[in-house]
Structure 1
Amino acid sequence: MVERGAPVVPSARSERSLLFLVAAVQFVNLLDFMMVMPLGPDFAVALGISMSDIGLIGGSYTAAAALSGVACASFLDRFDRRSALLVALLGLVAGTAAGGLATGLSSLVAARVLAGAFGGPATAIAFSIVADATPPERRGRAMGVVMGAYSLAAVLGVPVGLELARRGGFQVPFFAVAALGLLVAGLARLLLPPMRGHLAGARAAGSALRELRALVTRPLVSLAYAATAAVTMAAFLIIPNISAYAQQNLGYPRERLGLLYLAGGALSFVVMRVAGAVIDRIGAFRTSAAGAALLVAVLYAGFHSYVPGLPVLVVFVGFMTGSTIRNIAQSTLVSRVPRPAERARFGAMQSALDHLASALAAFLSARMLRELPDRRLDGMEGVAALAIAFTLASLPLLLWIERRVAVSPAAGAGPARALRGEGA
């Protein structure tokens, strides 16, 4: 299948090498985000920050990422993908390094705002590169490779970051991730080819704001954004509270917490690769439905009405596996919605919505939960029920999108048109 307007990657740069390079970018980006919350108690003690203010640090990143995603959506498609990615990476590196130089709550929040302002667009650009470089029939596998960075960040990055902080202080992980980001930026500059094939369509489209307005008001795009929000809400109602719930409610020992991330992340890495191939074979909706069934079962048995004797490891791994399947299926499907020349601004808006949905979900769960005198969390039943509702609500949206992209002339990868060599 060929999508009209899609950039052609030079033959000297293999598709596999490009995907692993983009995965490295995502690894740095995700590790920068994921390591902060586990490190919260460390820098709270070191900088004299109240434990209750740790949430402000994580929220500052997501808020900045959301706002920058909206701001960048109108012009990201007007630049070479490689140049835009390098700028975003260097800004992320600067913000991450600044976190290691923080002297208090205000300076740390400012550093996280800077990191989020560049981290959000970096995600959008990375997925735009994947969509540009791979045809629709192989995009599921490609998304699986790139999204495997999440599992690697959980399996390798978070435990290593915690150990570095234990040995050298909370500053060391920030500096280590910044150094890794510089290395990846250098590799991207050397190995990533210029990607300008989308520019002709972007420049011919007219006003940037008019383009953006036309994009977000298109019905199929609105469906894609609604599905993104539903999938994200379902996950982030649980994610901020899963560590406290496992320890306080289920009695899981703190010293073995790393085992959960190791096992869950390792299995998710395998699942991502398998799920990508399954999506290419049976379709994104069917794969997502299978992930949703697993996720609903885990949410009910592990969080809503805990089944006595159910191992915490099974609950954690099941939650990560179901979420992983859903995420890759949703990402693969919505990648077919935008036209090649509008992928970056579509992705920037999607990234902004994703961050806003995660922040809203975390806020909702915090309002629904309360800490009991014995430190257990009360109200998890309601949080899990809401997560189940969002999981189920996303399914008809994804089915509708899958059917529309097969026939809609506005979709970026409609099979019927692509088979005839036509694009959007």
Structure 2
Amino acid sequence: MLKYSILFFLIMFMIGTDTFLVSPLLPTLQAEYGVSTGIAGWMIGAYTLGSAMFALISGPLSDGWNRRTVMICGLTAFSLSTALCGFAGSYWTMLLFRFVAGASAAFTAPQVWASIPAVMPPQRIAKTMGIAFGGLAAAQAFGVPIGSWLAAADWPVPFWCIGALSLCLAAAAFLMLPAMKPSGQARTSILSRYIPLIKNGVARGGFLAYLLLHLGSGTAMAFMGKWMADHFELSIGSIGNFMMGLGFGTLLGSIISSAVIRRLGSTWTVTAGMLLLAVLYVSGPHTGLHAAAVLYFVVFTVLGVIFPLVMGLLTGLDASIRGTIASLANSTMNGANTLGAWLAGLLYVHFAGYASIGMFSAACIILSLAAFRFGGLLPGKSTAAKRQSKPA
């Protein structure tokens, strides 16, 4: 069973690395293609837009297909499209390849979450879920900085490396994973799989809160590399070091998440964490380099605690459509990051630079907290919600 844990960790590590790779490379790519700051953020947004759009159909479709086949095909397409980004000769070509890479990731990542209960014994499911999430956290701690260092030699190199390694993982999945075909249930339409969530008010409130949470954090993340370069005059390598520190914060948060939740409870973990995030997002742009490093380390540690908690609450709404819920959560996250990348460019250029981004992120976090507290997803009301979301 260890081989499955390692495989799922590495798949999520590659997807996570590719997701955040462009952020520290943004100043270099902007100069390479000669585009304005206002539209440069779409090199991040194209990936997340592709992922958000196709995640809406990948989960429901895969619930009726062989998950092994879907994962291998998605991972192969992901590896090829990411490698092609390194050959992009124009801004528009880069947007196209990033869009396809995001769409391919939408068919891959949800299969990881949905496959774990199928191949792991019940007593290992929770631990393996944590290991897979650790792959995303480790991507920010190690993958993104390594990509920045590789880009110091030439910017296409990290895209080629991710593409090659992802293709190797597709081959490993082909050799290691068993067939995971649907268990004989009748196939249903894509929309019908969403109906239990559409009808459930708690689910609607929970996904709204999840959208706002990622909109706030994604907007702050999108132009962080640009802010580092402009405000502190850091090189790509130095930005990579900064991002590594933030990634360690996410990794630390994911490690201590369960202990924090046991001590504070889910409701107070979310409440205290998000109030702290709002304060730090407003304060961060006004600090010096060393203070900013500490402050944003805390930000990403708190996010590392909150994200797996919220994902667990969402996927617990209805176990019978867990794949659909995971895909919808992925679509929500990437849709928020797409919108955040676009808004970040507008705020950075037309308003008070990164300070306006910080204020916008704080406002999103406060609205997200309100949706969590009053929407019923947090413990206290969620039990009834789970019963209501069960299909008849």
User: Could you say whether these structures have the same fold, taking a TM-score greater than 0.5 normalized by the shorter chain as the test?
Assistant: yes
Residue 186 of structure 1: which of 171, 185, 190 is its match?
Answer: 171
Q: Do residues 35 (structure 1) and 21 (structure 2) align?
A: yes
- TM-score (structure 1 length as normaliser): 0.80
Q: Please state how far the C-alpha of 1:138 moved relative to its aligned partner.
A: 7.0
Give the match for residue 314 of structure 2: 334
Give the CA RMSD over aligned residues: 3.2
Q: Which residue of 2 aligns with 1:174?
A: 159
CA shift at 1:317, angstroms? 0.2
1:146 aligned partner, one-letter code: A
1:333/1:302 Cα in 2 relative to 1: closer, same or farther (>3 Å)?
A: same
Aligned to 2:150, which of 164, 178, 181?
A: 164
**Counterpart in 2 of 1:400?**
377
Q: Distance in 1 between matches of 2:78 and 2:315?
A: 24
Deviation at 1:153, TM superposition (A): 1.5
Change in 2 beyond 3 A, CA 1:345/1:132: same
Q: How does 1:15-414 map to 2 (within 5 A)?
A: 16-47=2-33, 49=35, 52-130=38-116, 132=118, 141-167=127-153, 169-196=154-181, 198-200=182-184, 203-204=185-186, 206-246=188-228, 248-249=230-231, 251=232, 253-254=234-235, 256-279=238-261, 283-303=265-285, 306=286, 311-340=291-320, 342-370=321-349, 377=354, 379-380=356-357, 382-396=359-373, 400-407=377-384, 408-410=386-388
- The residue type paired with residue 95 of structure 1 is S
Asked if the contact 1:142–1:276 (Cα under 8 Å) also holds between the matched residues in 2, the reply is no
Question: Which blocks of at least 5 consecutive residues in structure 1 are unaligned?
Answer: 1-13, 413-422
TM-score after normalising by structure 2 = 0.86
- CA distance in 1: counterparts of 2:358 and 2:266, whole angstroms: 30
Q: If you compute each CA radius of gyration, which structure gives the higher value, 1 or 2?
A: 1
Counterparts of 1:307 and 1:57, CA distance in 2? 28
More helix by percentage? 2
For residue 79 of structure 1, give the secondary structure of its aligned residue in structure 2: coil
Paired with 1:190 and 1:25, the residues of 2 have a C-alpha distance of: 15
Shift of 1:149: 1.8
Task: Output the CA distance in 1 between the equivalents of 2:354 and 2:188.
Answer: 53
Structure 2 residue ranges without an equivalent (≥5): none
Judging changes above 3 Å, is the alpha-carbon distance between structure 1 residues 109 and 367 closer, same or farther for their aligned structure 2 residues? closer
C-alpha deviation, 1:163, in angstroms = 2.2
Q: Alpha carbons of 1:298 and 1:174: their partners in 2 closer, same or farther (altered >3 Å)?
A: same
Q: Sequence identity, in percent?
A: 21
- Paired residues in the alignment total 390
Q: CA deviation at 1:247?
A: 5.2
**One-letter amino acid of the counterpart of residue 402, structure 1:** P
2:289 and 2:163 map into 1 onto residues whose CA distance is 42
Deviations 1:39-87, CA, capped at 9 Å, x for gaps: 2333444455555542222221111111111233431201122221111
- Whole-Å Cα distance in 2 between the matches of residues 26 and 239 of structure 1? 19
